[in-house]
Homo-oligomer: A and B are copies of this chain.
Amino acid sequence: MIGATTWVIADGYIPPRSTGPAPELTSHESACMLNAGDADAHVDLTVYFADRPPAGPYRLTVPARRAFHQRINDLTDPEPVPPGTDYCCVIVSDVPIVVQHTRLDSRQAANALMSTIAYTPR
Which A residues have a C-beta under 8 Å from some C-beta of B?
Answer: 2-3, 6, 8-13, 19-20, 24-25, 30, 32-34, 36, 48-51, 53-54, 65-69, 84, 86-88, 90, 98-122
Contacts and interface: CB of A to CB of B under 8 A. Distances in A.
Given A3-B8, A11-B115, A102-B114, A108 B67 contact: no
Contacts of A98: 8, 10, 88, 119
Interface residue SS majority, chain A: strand
Given A34-B90, A90-B34, A117-B117, A105 B99 contact: no
B11 A69 contact: yes
Q: In the complex this chain forms, how many copies of it are found? A: 4
A69 B50 contact: yes
A112 B12 CA distance: 16
A7 to B, nearest CB: 10
